[in-house]
Structure 1
Amino acid sequence: MTSQNTKKLSNPFSTGGGGAHFEAHIQASFVVLMLTDGYAPCFPFSPIKKIKLQGKVDGFDTDDLIVFVGDEAKSVEKKMIAQIKHSIAITQRDHIFGEVIHSAWNDFNNPKLFTRREDAIALITGPISKTDMHNVQWLLAQARNTADADEFYRYVDKANFSPPKSSEKLEAFRYHLKNANGGIDISDKELYAFLQDFYLLGYDLGHEEGVILPLLHSHIAQLNQKDVHLIWSRVVEFVQTKNQYAATITINNLPEDLKEIREKLEKPSAKHMPKDLEMVEHHELEIVDWNQHKAASHLASVNFIGAWNETNQSDISILEQVIEDDYADWVTEAREILQETETPLRLNNGLWQITERLALFGELGSRIFDQHLDIFKTIATSVLTERDPLFELPSSERYLASVQGKVPPHSRQLRKGIAEGLAILGNHAGALTNCSQHKAESTALLTLRDIFTAADWVLWGSLNDLLPTLSEAAPDEFLSIVEHALYASPSPFDELFNQEDTGILAPRNYLTGLFWALEGLAWEEKHLVRVCVILGKLAQKDKRRQSGNSSANSLSTILLAWLPQTLASIDKRKVSVQTLCKEAPDAGWELLIGLLPTQHQTSFGSHKPVWRNVIPDDWKEEVSGQDYWELVTFYAELAVSIAQDDTSKLAEIIEHFDHLPKPAFDQLQNILSSESILALTEEERLPLWENLTVFTLRHRQYSDAKWSLSDELLIPLEETATKLAPAAPLHRNKLLFSSRDNDLFEEKGDWQKQREKLIKRRQDAVEEILDQDGLEALFGFAQEVQKSWDVGYALGSISAGKEIDTALLPEHLSKNDDKSDNFVRGFVWGRHQINGWSWADDFEKTDWSAEQKGIFLACLPFLQSTWKRASTWLEGDDGHYWKITGANPYQSDGPLDIAIDKLLDFERPHAAIDCLDKMRHSKQEINSDQVFRALFDALSQPKELRSMDGYHIRELIRLLQENSEVSLDDLSRIEWNYLPLLEFQGDTAPRTLEKRLSMAPEFFCEVVHLIYRSDKEKTAPKEASTEKRAMASNAWRLLNGWRYVPGLQDDGSFDANQFTNWLERIQEISKQTGHLKVTLIQVGHVLIHCPPDPSGLWIHTVVADALNQYDADPMRRGYSTSAYNARDVHWVDPAGKPELELAEQYRQKAEDIENAGYQRFAVTLRDLAKGYERESERIRGEHETEE
């Protein structure tokens, strides 16, 4: 997010961004566990009862996720507070890890929020290094399984017992805990206690080969095996919506569709009547014949749409068209039907649904005539051609569509029901005995045709969720429609790929429904080839190349050899792949690579047809070994055959050599050693040799691994690599500078030694090229490899003559940040590492320009010695250095204040902030004037925030707040502009602004006026500008977090006169401006934090008296609202006891207040008590209904 100009009182920074997708999926995983009665990590055998998102509002510093578990029988509740970081390093230098530990330490030491040895603190991460995971998990396990701290440290200190890096990782914890503890060392026992409650949970969500997502899908499959993907996506979408409101999620407040899915899990297992009771006299239940029911005709018509929302007038209008009658008459009949024992209707919160639609369709089919089908066709076409207003918003704002009223006129349930009605018509026409022959099937087909006749990308996107159902209505017609759109110019799918949401929430793909529709049709052999070609064409249009829902993933899922998602024969599957490779070669090649053994070891299955009975009931997802090897061998041999005439494909398939079945393995080896390949030029053979060399090196490096090839297979490949090896150094040495360092290590062992060996090999390579081909050739070589900096470093670190220096410098110094520039930077760094400053100082620079000197200095470490030379060499023109230096503060060996001033002088405030934070982190004295200047300057320079920028800024603001000598006006401006980054109730709350609200009535009123219109304004308001909306958002954020009651003093005492004077003044101002009502409501919000009275009354009498005044009703309403919303995170007790306890507390408070003489305020408190009583009744009722 970009920052605003300092003159604008707006929020210039945002804490949202990069990790939202990963965080939302982690949160969703816990919702799935709760939905399926699963258990939470850290708490074996403890079901999840409640999940709090964004716990900062409730005082938690570790705030991404709070998971509450409990044993209702024992009335025990525990919690796991979790921070979610997609990537992190468990090291002393990792600031993100430091931030996590700082927050965890705060919570660990807060007994109001955290109970030691009962609750848990978790760091949930994506993939992290094996070293970090292994060593840290070992430490945490030992902390929880040793008798005491002494035993724990004995184990850690035993080199033969503990992992090699365990002591180093333990010190990383100790280092950051010391910082979190105000720079004070923590004892061994405190560290031990902290580790006992700390958990590191690795989640591989988002990885095709991962474990977590399949496990979650397995949980979901307990509820619904057919729609696992759909349910998972629905949970993620629900969590994303709730996340923005920092909501608490329980089973009771899940959406109705998820509750319905859960019912399957909650049904009790079947129990059989004891034999001795079977002879007891009983009455048989009366079975209703719905075809003879007085409402049968209406019921038959309503079954076409399946569901409607009685609060939606558009739905009511559709229903009246279907039944050709007034809704009032029908709903009277419907309510009577609800009373029947085996009613086909269900009503829940205004949503009507027909259960068992297919059975009812068969029972009432004779009551449907051609006229009904014509009416339904008109209705379906009208409703399903509606364009979703969501697409009127930019993609980054679509998550706010419902908030902004951008929703379709008809309910989601009615739209879904109509689509299902079309699918029923297309597949179960036999029940309509009184309709013309084929009338039902043609109605479904022609309706689809009418819907998509002029469909653009907006309509396709609007129908996304319904496409799997619509495809079943008329499969051949649907495939023709898709093909027509696919080959249209422009194709609607091109734009839909571009429309994927990229806002602050997880991306949303508007083609998922199409992929699932095609997956569903692929189950039938007659559709398979056609579906595969369509998916291949779509894959070639899709440039995103992301995991998850994509046409490429659908293809591989359908055709997996070990779990095919089609009933087609093996021969037909082979034909499908061959046809795909012919018509969409790029997609075909990608598919073949993905179908090789071990490439997809996990599959969640594909979408299965719901309304078409194509999958036999006795079908099992089983594949014989013979069938599996026949298919994978075919896939592999086809891939090798295609690759033999394309060296780029041949190079790619070499990377999968060890995954090829024996026939394909031998086929590929023969091709690589064939005369036609050996006859290629060195440049053409180069990628083949490089990939084969890296492949054989990896197997040699890990020769003891189970997956490593035997010498019998490996030696011939190494011999082939030798034949392919280029003779020219310029070709042969490219590999050293084009692969990851680890891939080039020749053996396992000490990383540093291997790294030094690799540097020596690179130096030798550079010397060889230099001796044989010269410097110009080496310079060109650096342009062709990936690691041009390493080429330059190798050259700089060998003892080549000065002619190299003068040939490169200063001619090739530039600011282009390309490979040439990186090569020269690496060369300068290498020379400096070997020779020190003498080399740079002795270099003849008389003819160099100031710009060249600045670039040269920027290639050197960010040290005081470099800055001094910038001053002397550039003689007052040192901006050539300071404007471009990388300014890595961790290269510096001393104070950074000089560098900070320079960076600010040359308009680099963000680099200055990094340096200031380094000084803070190193406990160096910081100049507050520099902090102010850097923070103010940063507001005028838009910049994408990195993950640590917000943390750096908050910590610097906290330092300013702790300095009693800083300007309060300047500090107020800083807090206002960075308000979105500050945390109320935390170490970096906007303290100055909060106090100013409480002490300056004029400022408080000004903030209120930014949010609310005056009631004196008679004209319609103009649309607010972006700047005004930003200011209003900041003002709301400030008032919403305000806790500092006017009159409250720093020592905790309360100045009644100050409060009274403040209240009188804000009332006087608000009356004049027309804001009295909203102002008093805001005052009421903050008064819930009022301290008790010295007399013992639970609230100060002066405040109670103000709340009791006859004209203070808005203030009392504000107090009531804030009191109700201030309730702590809580587990929902099915008996409603906590609510009854709160009701009793407020009744007692009301009694005390009334006895003290404040009867009006007492009424408000009694209303609060009544509200909690009603909530208790509601909770008990819902629990009884579920049982």
Structure 2
Amino acid sequence: DGKYETIEDNIVRLLRFDDSPVWSAGRYRGVASKIDALFAIAGMITQHDLDRFFEAAEYVLSDSDPALELPEEDRWLAPLYGKKRDHSSAMREGICETLIILSVRGNNLFQSRLGIDVEDRVTALIRKLLIPLTLEKLLSHDHDLPHYAEAAPDEFLTIIEEDLRCSDPVVFGLLKPDSGSFWAPSSQTGLFWALECLAWNPKNLLRVSVILAQLSRQKIDNNRVNKPDDSLQNIFRSWIPQTAAPVSDRVKVLKKLTEDFPKIGWEICIKQIKPGHSVGHYSYRPRWRSDASGAGQVVTNGEIYKFTRKTLGFLIDWPSHDEKTLGDLVEYLQGMPIENQSKVWNLIDEWSRTAGEAAKAVLRERIRLFAFTQRGRQRKLEDATRDRAREAYDSLRPNDPVIRHSWLFANQYVPVSTEEIEKEGFNDNDQEADERIDKLRREAITEIWDERGFKGVKDLLAPSGATDLIGRYTASCVTDVCSQSDFIQRCLSLDGELQSKAEWCLRGFLSAIGDDVCAEVINMVAKKLSVEESKRLFVCAPFNASTWRLLDDSSEDIRTGYWKDVVPYWKDQTPAELNELIDCLLEAHRPRAAFHVVCMNFKDIETSRLKRLLHDIATVNTEPAGQVGLDP
């Protein structure tokens, strides 16, 4: 009669059996085996029963998620805001699983007796739930997408493929950084799990791989594990492939990826020959289809060898090598047989004949890091490998001094070359290593300045990640006041992408020429500059009282702009300087910036200022978020 009390009575009666077909846990009830239950009652199911089920399934699953009405960072709090679906997640999951079972088993049970193509009805329902595809639907059905894919594999892939053919695919809306909230769910997990689920079937491998490759073109800058390129790496990982496709099928699909998506195909291939230990993740597996049966575990060494040899062949025979691909091959050289290592060095020799100097310098530095640093020594390379590396390194030496020395200023820290210092027990952490790099940098800047002047420094800034060092070392080459004044004005004249780098270069330069000379030069240059240029000059000057006294003679606009934009830092300021900077930064409504400088010198802060500083930290909220953080 449909009453719940009657159902409860029947469940209680069935639970008394030793091998009960139902289970009960709290407020939830269910059958022990859905497939067994379906087979047991299949003969009693009518077309009307199936119609009612599909009608109920559409009604429940089409219910959109009201949590989407909240801001993304608050959606995990949806129950507190009363934003809940009318039907529980357990009911949705149960209906989804029934759809999968009907898709897999339904036609065998009902098609001949009732004349109903159950699989086709499941497919039609999935399409009706998702089409027309919108971002809201994808987000609303996120947890259900793996079930939909397992229920209607061909249809699900067709829907995604149709969307990706559009000029502005909807699925790209899922590929974005997360909100930063620890509890906020990832918006792309459901889609990737759905695709991983379908990749187990060899028939779907090519379609799934192409979709994931297309999605990989849009990089996701967050820390979530689930990304399209991660899913691809898991599928093709040689020692634990997350697909039931045999080696031959995987090789064919990978070959297709290297042709149609070369950057993505390269990354998959190169990871297969990486020497040393690696970590693999298991992909989402189908629950009701047998596509993953017996697959997804560590395979035999023979299968690993067969697959990696094929991928290595793809890498060696790559149609258009460049400094990046050749550098990757050098880095992973130890994962190759000897004959392939020789092929790599031959490829480098051939490529270098027509390559530009900048590209040569990039590859040259990767060879240096591979073979001639402390880490290279730990690799315990064969003498033959080191000899070939030395030959390639020497042959790639650029003639342009800027390009040749750019590796010294790529980053603050430079791994020293062990080849350059033959001393027993020497390592990168020794003081002598720092002295060696310091000497190389001074010689490099001197050569660049002598040959190219300011233009050489400007060219060196563009690729550098340590532009303050460039300014600091240039100070030793620019010693008279007129030349220093000219250097400062040239740095301030640079704009666009170089403006920020030039300002950091200027910071290093001004900090290196000494306070007395610095004050004299700044005072002379500031008179020739506009208000905006003068403010930028003072912001780059050392953060101390010497600079602040020069500001006293400047206009109010320059003084106000300075305290608003300066990056304050602690550097042996006197108690008087600390109290002065507090007053000025508080006047500029920057209490967190002031606290950041003085927090290690409370004993030197006048009490009333310290009280005001702490008060303003709690009450003033005008500083840009994330500009200056406070430690607990």
Q: 1:537 to 1:664 in 2, by over 3 A?
A: farther
1:420 has 2:420 as partner: no
Query: Given the alignment of the two structures, is residue 697 of structure 1 paired with residue 372 of structure 2, yes or no?
Result: yes
C-alpha distance 544-776 of structure 1, shift in aligned 2 (>3 A): closer
Shift of 1:579: 1.4
Inter-partner Cα distance in structure 1 for 2:316 and 2:483 = 47
Give the Å deviation of 1:325. 3.7
Structure 2 CA distance for partners of 1:697 and 1:800, relative to 1, 3 Å: farther
**1:745–1:758 contact (8 Å) kept in structure 2:** no
Q: Which residue of 2 aligns with 1:756?
A: 435
Q: More displaced, 548-557 or 507-516?
A: 507-516
Equivalent residue of 1:608, what SS? coil
Q: C-alpha separation between the residues in 1 aligned to 2:260 and 2:115? A: 39
Q: 1:943 to 1:854 in 2, by over 3 A?
A: closer
Q: Which residue does the alignment assign to 2:612?
A: 932
> Any residues of structure 2 matched to 1:247-326 within 5 Å, and which?
325-326=2-3
The aligned counterpart of 1:394 is: 71
> Given that residues 854 and 874 in structure 1 are in contact (C-alpha distance below 8 angstroms), is that contact kept between their aligned partners in structure 2?
no
Contact 2:66/2:83 (8 A) holds in 1: yes
Q: Tell me the residue number matched to 2:566.
A: 885
**Is the counterpart of residue 729 in structure 1 residue 406 in structure 2?**
no
8 Å contact kept, 2:491–2:503: yes
Please state how far the C-alpha of 1:855 moved relative to its aligned partner. 4.7
**Alpha-carbon separation, structure 1, partners of 2:376 and 2:327:** 23
The runs of 5 or more residues in structure 1 that have no matched partner are 1-323, 952-1187
Residues 743 and 492 of structure 1, relative CA distance in 2, 3 Å threshold:
same
Distance in 2 (CA, whole Å) between partners of 1:694 and 1:800 is 35
What secondary structure, in the 3-state scheme, does the structure 2 residue paired with 1:642 have? coil
Q: Is the 8 A contact 1:693 1:721 kept in 2?
A: yes
Q: 1:827 aligns with which of 504, 509, 520?
A: 509
Q: What letter is aligned with 2:196?
A: E
**Equivalents in 2 of 1:595, 1:905: separation in Å?**
59
1:685-717 deviation per Cα after TM superposition (whole angstroms, max 9, x unaligned)? 33222322332233xx24552x33222112101
Residue among 18, 39, 50 paired with 1:362: 39
- Aligned to 2:187, the other structure's residue is in SS state coil
- The aligned runs of 1:141-160 (5 Å cut-off) are none
Q: Is the 8 A contact 2:102 2:119 kept in 1?
A: yes
Structure 2 counterpart SS, 1:352: strand
User: Matched residues in 1 for 2:450 and 2:304: separation?
Assistant: 55
Partner amino acid for 1:714? R
Aligned to 1:678: 353
Q: Which amino acid is the alignment partner of residue 737 of structure 1?
A: F
Contact 1:689 1:721 in 2 (8 A): yes
| Amino acid in structure 2 at the alignment position of 1:480 | T
- Alpha-carbon separation, structure 1, partners of 2:415 and 2:92: 54
Which structure: larger Rg? 1
SS at 2:240 equivalent: coil
TM-superposed deviation, 1:404: 0.9
* Match among 493, 496, 500 for residue 174 of structure 2: 496
* Structure-2 change in CA distance of 1:912 and 1:643 (3 Å): farther
Paired AA for residue 783 in structure 1: A
Alpha-carbon distance change, 685 to 933 in structure 1, aligned in 2, over 3 angstroms:
closer
Normalising by structure 1, report the TM-score. 0.49
In the alignment, which residue of structure 2 is the partner of 1:772?
Answer: 451
Q: Which residue pairs with 1:718 in the alignment?
A: 390
* TM superposition shift of 1:518: 2.1
Supply the distance in 2 between the matched residues of 1:526 and 1:889 (Cα, whole angstroms): 63
- Distance change (3 Å), C-alpha of 1:514 and 1:759: same
Give the letter aligned to residue 623 of structure 1: V
Residue-by-residue CA offset, 1:799-856 (whole Å, 9 max, x unaligned): 7454531321345347976111122221111222xxxx33225548346338566655
Alpha-carbon distance, 1:880 to partner? 5.5
Counterparts of 1:553 and 1:478 in 2: how far apart (Å)? 21
Q: Unmatched 5+ residue regions in structure 2?
A: 419-425
Inter-partner Cα distance in structure 2 for 1:470 and 1:599: 39
Instruction: Describe the SS at the equivalent of 2:299.
Output: coil
- Report deviation, 1:440: 2.7
**SS of 1:346's equivalent?**
strand
Give the direction of change, closer, same or farther, for the CA distance of 1:549–1:940 in structure 2 (3 Å limit): closer
- CA positional deviation for 1:648: 4.0
Counterpart check, 1:818 vs 2:500: yes
Tell whether the 8 Å contact from 2:539 to 2:566 is kept in structure 1 after alignment. Answer: yes
Asked if 1:471 corresponds to 2:130, the answer is no
Between the aligned partners of 2:477 and 2:282, the Cα distance in structure 1 is 57
Distance in 2 between the 1:682 and 1:336 partners?
Answer: 83
TM-score of the superposition, structure 2-length normalised?
0.88
Pick one of 906, 914, 919 that aligns with 2:601. 919
Residues 587-736 of structure 1: pairs in structure 2 closer than 5 A: 587-598=264-275, 601-616=278-293, 621-642=297-318, 644-674=320-350, 676-698=351-373, 701-702=374-375, 704-705=377-378, 707-736=379-408
Is the Cα contact below 8 Å between 2:201 and 2:291 reproduced in 1?
yes
Q: Which secondary structure does the structure 1 equivalent of 2:290 belong to?
A: coil
Matches within 5 A, 1:912-991: 912-920=594-602, 923-929=603-609, 931-932=611-612, 935-936=615-616, 939-945=620-626, 949=630, 951=632
Contact 1:814–1:855 (Cα < 8 Å) also in 2: no
Q: Partners of 1:793 and 1:754 in 2: how far apart?
A: 19
Task: Tell me which amino acid in the other structure corresponds to 1:556.
Answer: Q
C-alpha distance in 2 between matches for 1:877 and 1:497:
44
Q: CA deviation at 1:925?
A: 4.5
Say whether residues 1:901 and 2:580 are aligned partners.
no
CA distance 1:338–1:626, shift in 2 (3 Å): closer
In structure 1, give the amino acid aligned to 2:130.
Answer: F
Compare the two structures and name the one with the higher helix fraction. 2
In structure 2, what is the Cα distance between the partners aligned to 1:948 and 1:847?
Answer: 34
Matched with 2:203 is 526
Q: CA deviation at 1:768?
A: 0.5
Written as runs of structure 1 = structure 2, the 5 A alignment for 1:8-23 is none
How far apart are the structure 1 equivalents of 2:623 and 2:94? 48
Deviation at 1:425, TM superposition (A): 0.9
Please give the secondary structure, in 2, of the residue aligned with 1:416: helix
1:806 aligns with 2:485: yes
Q: Which amino acid aligns with 1:439?
A: D
Q: What do residues 475-515 of structure 1 show as CA deviations (whole Å, max 9, x unaligned)? A: 222222222233234322111223x6405324522221222
Is 1:782 the counterpart of 2:458? The answer is no
Which of the numbers 163, 182, 185 marks the counterpart of 1:508? 185
Alpha-carbon distance in 1 for matches of 2:610, 2:222: 45
Separation (CA, whole Å) in 2 of partners of 1:643 and 1:770 = 40
What does residue 381 of structure 1 align with?
58
The aligned residue for residue 422 of structure 2 is none
Give 1:615 deviation, angstroms: 4.2
Aligned residues: 616
- Cα distance in 2 for partners of 1:771, 1:364 equals 91
Identity of aligned residues (%): 24
Q: 1:873 to 1:536 in 2, by over 3 A?
A: closer
2: CA distance between counterparts of 1:877 and 1:451? Answer: 61
Q: Is the 8 A contact 1:532 1:555 kept in 2?
A: yes
Higher RCO, 1 vs 2 (CA within 8 Å, ≥6 residues apart): 1
Question: How far 1:664 sits from its partner (Å)?
Answer: 4.0
Two-structure CA RMSD over aligned residues (Å): 3.1
Partner of 1:563: 240
Question: Secondary structure of the equivalent of 1:845?
Answer: helix
CA displacement, residues 951-996 of structure 1 (integer Å, 9 cap, x when unaligned): 4xxxxxxxxxxxxxxxxxxxxxxxxxxxxxxxxxxxxxxxxxxxxx
Cα distance in 1, alignment partners of residues 631 and 411 from structure 2:
34
* Equivalent-residue separation in structure 2 for 1:691 and 1:876 (angstroms): 48
Judging changes above 3 Å, is the alpha-carbon distance between structure 1 residues 581 and 413 closer, same or farther for their aligned structure 2 residues?
Answer: same
SS in 2 for 1:949: coil
The 3 A distance-change label for structure 1 pair 762 and 804 is farther
Contact kept, 8 Å, 2:585 with 2:594, in 1: the verdict is yes
